[in-house]
Amino acid sequence: MRDGLKVWERLRIITGEGSSAGVYTARIEDVINGGIVVDNPEFVSGNTLLRQGMAVVVQVTREDAVYQFHSQVRSQGSGKLKRVILTPPTRMQRVQRRLFARVEISSRVRFATYYPGFEWTDWREKTPWSDSFLVDISGGGALIKTPESVPDGSLLLVEIELFAQSNLPEVVFSQSRRHVRADKDWLCGVEFILAADLGRHVNQGELKRMPEELRQFTGRKQDALVTHLFQKQIEQRQKGLI
């Protein structure tokens, strides 16, 4: 272990800057004197390719915070044996205090309550949606205004206009985690449920009937959302908004 890095820890590797930055994820296979050996990086988003000799920013997400350090791509293999060696961290620093930092972004939202036996035929048009607005959002969930209280534990279909603009699944299967009264409005905190975890909330029969588009919020899509929000944070800081 070097500078607190652990074997099989997941990394986010960012190359380039701005909206064209290339974002990849990988896991640490070994930490050696010459650097950090990671498995074949998986592309998440962006337009900048990962190349040998390129300077990169590496982020590590932990329970207490997100940490990052600067590194450089030292070598790459090829084919199935493709591996990347990153130079040792020059300086590890904490960049976010939360696992998923929240960002205040305005976006239209609509939501509907899910129940066993939900009618999926023409569900987009026939479902009784409630219109709302986003208060803030993170990679793990969102805080939305609701016309009435939504009991904790309720399963919801949440459609966020922002997602359609960011190449993310428009509707995400979610769960209400808390609801509070704020002046004349109710606020509901929802947790986005990853596709791999849907089976914990609905039985297999219901899962098979669920439209494919509701099973698209994968870990990779969550990484893309986190990266998008991280860039939004940088923009807000540059504008002096946070």
pLDDT tens digits, 188-236: 999 999 898 898 899 999 999 999 989 999 888 888 888 778 777 777 6
Is 168 among the domain residues?
Answer: yes
Domain that holds residue 87: 10-96
Tokens 């399963």 belong to 155
Residues 153, 209: one domain? yes
Q: What is the pLDDT of residue 77?
A: 58
Residues 85 and 94: beta-carbon distance below 8 Å: no
186-197 exposure pattern, b = at least 16 Cβ within 10 A, e = fewer: bbbbbbbbbbee
Is 135 among the domain residues?
Answer: yes
Is 101 among the domain residues?
Answer: no
Beta strands in the chain (DSSP E): 10-15, 22-32, 35-38, 42-45, 55-61, 66-76, 84-86, 93-96, 108-113, 130-137, 141-146, 155-160, 171-182, 185-192
Residues 20, 115: one domain? no
Is 1 among the domain residues?
Answer: no
Residues 59, 119: one domain? no
Q: What is the pLDDT of residue 174?
A: 95
Residues 75, 154: one domain? no
Residues 122, 147: one domain? yes
Residues 57, 145: one domain? no
Q: What is the pLDDT of residue 241?
A: 54
Task: Enter the pTM of the model.
Answer: 0.61
Of 48, 67, 96, the residue that ends a domain is: 96
Residues 112, 139: one domain? yes
Residues 88, 113: one domain? no
Q: What is the CATH number of the domain that holds 133?
A: 2.40.10
Can you tell me the distance from the alpha carbon of 128 to that of 119, in angstroms, rounded to the nearest whole number? 11
Of 63, 96, 129, the residue that ends a domain is: 96
Residues 209, 131: one domain? yes
Q: What is the pLDDT of residue 2?
A: 45
Residues 21, 128: one domain? no
CA separation, residue 109 to residues 87, 112, 146 (Å): 43, 10, 10
Of 64, 96, 128, the residue that ends a domain is: 96
Q: What is the CATH number of the domain that holds 84?
A: 2.30.110.10
Residues 176 and 185: beta-carbon distance below 8 Å: no
Residues of the chain with pLDDT under 50: 1-2
Would you report the helix, strand and coil content of the chain in percent, each value rounded to 5?
20, 40, 40
Residues 76, 121: one domain? no
Residues 112, 223: one domain? yes
Q: What is the pLDDT of residue 1?
A: 38
Q: Considering its fold, how many domains does the chain have in total? A: 2
The dihedral through the CA atoms of 151, 152, 153, 156 has a sign that is: positive
